[in-house]
Structure 1
Amino acid sequence: MFDERLLSRLDLNLLVALDALLTEKNVTRAAARLQLSQPSLSASLGKLRRHFNDQLLARRGNAYELTPLAVRLVEHTTVALDAARRVFESQSRWDPSESEREFIIHCSDYSLATIAPRVMRIAHRQAPHVRLHFVPSTPETMDEVVLRLPSIDGLLLPHGVISQMPHLDVMRDDWVAIAAAGNERVTGGLTMDVMSASPWVFTYRTRSAFTSVGRQVEMLGVNPWVEAVVESFVLLPLFVEHSDSLAIIQRHLAPIAQRMGEVQVLELPFEAVPVLNALWWHPVHETDPEHRWLRQVFAAARIGFGDEEDGADAALRGG
């Protein structure tokens, strides 16, 4: 068991110094980042080296490199520092109208373009000084984000990616196809034969990263010729316009797609599996009054449930 006497002797400021040193990999830059003198931060580095019995920063020519231990500490330090900030930012009484709290939410560009602006508008009407930090996530970073869930406020993801975490369903959607406005192949509408004969732009196409509708297309016997993979739903219209390519996007993105490029929106010739996206959070946030307020904002901003406009209007009125 960890010796609490050892913890009581630790200086929390060393955690701040360690984070800056591991990020900047340079004492001078880290000192400037923390607005400290270089000798002061060098002294902190000396204490950290004695504590870990490791150099942490090892000189290689004219530069410094992280030691193997320092590389392992990077992620732990970020999580620990975020957790420490949350501890000392917590208040017994929290008033949204007076708060300057920053909430961190990881999400896809689809969520950034659809629900995130609604959340911002509702939140800032109630809490004008609160900051919302929306961080784009990718399949490659998802494992890391899930591990960091205790130190962030939420993760916007469809069901089926993670489980056994508290969540709030916030977006219900289905799928449509987009094609260039002048694509003559779809003049009579989209058919399975047209889908089979057309080139495609997909968003994700690996064993671990794919959309449910993309997998469904293949299960229906269409073996799409994928001429490009673009890991962004929002950017798909730019690749489809002025080409013969097709792409599939969420219906709530369709108006944005038509504003971005010269594309037309087409109904799919099969019943696609709908999408249900949720805000996921770690149980450590469950009783946090600040986080509870954030969840209420997301509930008011939800899309695709039929009553979202009423909920958003009530939230904007403070209802």
Structure 2
Amino acid sequence: MTPRQSRPTHLANLDLNLLVTLRALLRERNVTRAARNLGVTQPAVSASLSRLRRHFADELLVRVQGAYVLTPLAAQLAGQVETVCAATERLFATGRAFDPATTQREFTLLMADYPATVLGPALSRLFDRDAPHAALHLQLVRETLGSGAGDTIRLVDGLVSPSLGHFRTPGVGSVPLFRDRWVCLVSAGHPLCEAAAFGIEDLARLPWVVPYHRDDGYPSAAPATRQLTALGIRPRIAVRVESYRAVPDFIAGTRRVALIPERLTARLPSAHGLRTLDCPVPLDSLEEHLWWDAGHDEDPAHSWLRELVARAADSLEP
């Protein structure tokens, strides 16, 4: 398609139903399945796809070896359309009577895989029991949240994260969920496992696996790296991962070491061949909070969601 010339887009000139169709098409990557999910005919979705292709001057879906795949632009739009549709649904649901037993609203929570692992089972059960027709969209954090975290919170229903300075801004509400403590994770055959005692200097000499550490120097906003910085350790980082759950895979069978939340280690399979050790000096506790845009404070559905997340956290073992 010929590139479309850039021009201002006015909301009044847009058919917002196309957003819903675009979301279904990017989710399903198939016109027939998108039509079935939307409850409309296949020709209607095909017509909408043609309009979307003209608007974006892009094919969006292209057939490759008998299946449709997203174009690079469509892949870029996929995350944006989910956020916009969720925000639009929240906007038009505000102020209406809310019944969790019948609502079909989709709630979006953003968190790293660590709190998702800890909170997930309890949260899933509560959602299934109390709001069986509601949808939960769990977005996983892919990198350390920086100074733009306040803007990120406005695009989702809630963010689960440790308490960091850039969240202390007007218009952001929060409630503590649960505490955890940091432990050292090493391979079962690591020399530290046999040591009568070890200190900070021993840890400083070892290669580290660090989650969510940006490669832009110190200090870092990543919780584990901030703890190391407070101890005066500038670790030799052997592996950086955008996941807490991936850390053990890069520890097993090596001389590397990592700081990891203790609640997460309780969920590691025994086959990993790993050991947890107490840090030689006390570390700050890790406290996860639920953060939200205070503009949702009066929304009954959002109040219910906050209470549900808090109940899931309350059900955790001490």
The two structures have a TM-score, normalised by structure 1, of: 0.72
Distance in 2 of aligned mates of 1:225 and 1:128: 48
Residue in structure 2 matched with residue 197 of structure 1 by the alignment: 205
Instruction: Note if 1:170 corresponds to 2:181.
Output: no
- Matched to 1:93, the amino acid is A
Instruction: Note if 1:207 corresponds to 2:208.
Output: no
Write out per-residue CA displacement over residues 54-83 of structure 1, whole angstroms, 9 at most, x where no aligned residue.
7465999x9999899x99977765444323
Residue among 15, 19, 24 paired with 1:15? 19
Q: 1:99 to 1:182 in 2, by over 3 A?
A: same
Q: 1:295 to 1:270 in 2, by over 3 A?
A: same
Gap runs ≥5 in structure 2: 1-9
Distance in 2 of aligned mates of 1:268 and 1:255: 17
Gap runs ≥5 in structure 1: 303-307, 314-319
Offset at residue 105 of structure 1 (A): 0.9
Q: 1:292 to 1:217 in 2, by over 3 A?
A: same
* Counterpart mapping for 1:92-241 below 5 A: 92-139=96-143, 147=151, 149-160=153-164, 161-164=166-169, 165-187=172-194, 188-205=196-213, 206-207=215-216, 210-218=221-229, 220-241=231-252
- Matched to 2:244, the amino acid is F
Offset at residue 20 of structure 1 (A): 5.7
Distance in 2 of aligned mates of 1:73 and 1:180: 41
Offset at residue 248 of structure 1 (A): 0.6
SS of residue paired to 1:171: strand
Contact (CA 8 Å) 1:198, 1:246: kept in 2 or not? Answer: yes
Distance in 2 of aligned mates of 1:58 and 1:131: 26
Q: 1:116 to 1:145 in 2, by over 3 A?
A: farther
Offset at residue 177 of structure 1 (A): 0.5
Write out per-residue CA displacement over residues 245-266 of structure 1, whole angstroms, 9 at most, x where no aligned residue.
2111012223123646222221
SS of residue paired to 1:139: coil
Residue in structure 2 matched with residue 271 of structure 1 by the alignment: 282
Residue in structure 2 matched with residue 305 of structure 1 by the alignment: none
With 118-127 and 100-109 compared, the bigger mean Cα shift is at 118-127
Q: 1:110 to 1:48 in 2, by over 3 A?
A: closer
Instruction: Note if 1:282 corresponds to 2:289.
Output: no
Residue in structure 2 matched with residue 34 of structure 1 by the alignment: 35
The two structures have a TM-score, normalised by structure 2, of: 0.73
* Counterpart mapping for 1:253-268 below 5 A: 253-257=264-268, 259=270, 261-268=272-279
Contact (CA 8 Å) 2:224, 2:260: kept in 1 or not? Answer: no
Q: 1:78 to 1:146 in 2, by over 3 A?
A: farther
Q: 1:227 to 1:103 in 2, by over 3 A?
A: same
Write out per-residue CA displacement over residues 176-205 of structure 1, whole angstroms, 9 at most, x where no aligned residue.
101122223332243223213322222233
Q: Percent identity?
A: 28
- Matched to 1:95, the amino acid is D
Offset at residue 268 of structure 1 (A): 0.9
With 156-165 and 209-218 compared, the bigger mean Cα shift is at 209-218
Distance in 2 of aligned mates of 1:67 and 1:232: 25
- Structure ID, larger Rg: 1
Cα RMSD over matched residues? 4.2
SS of residue paired to 2:287: strand
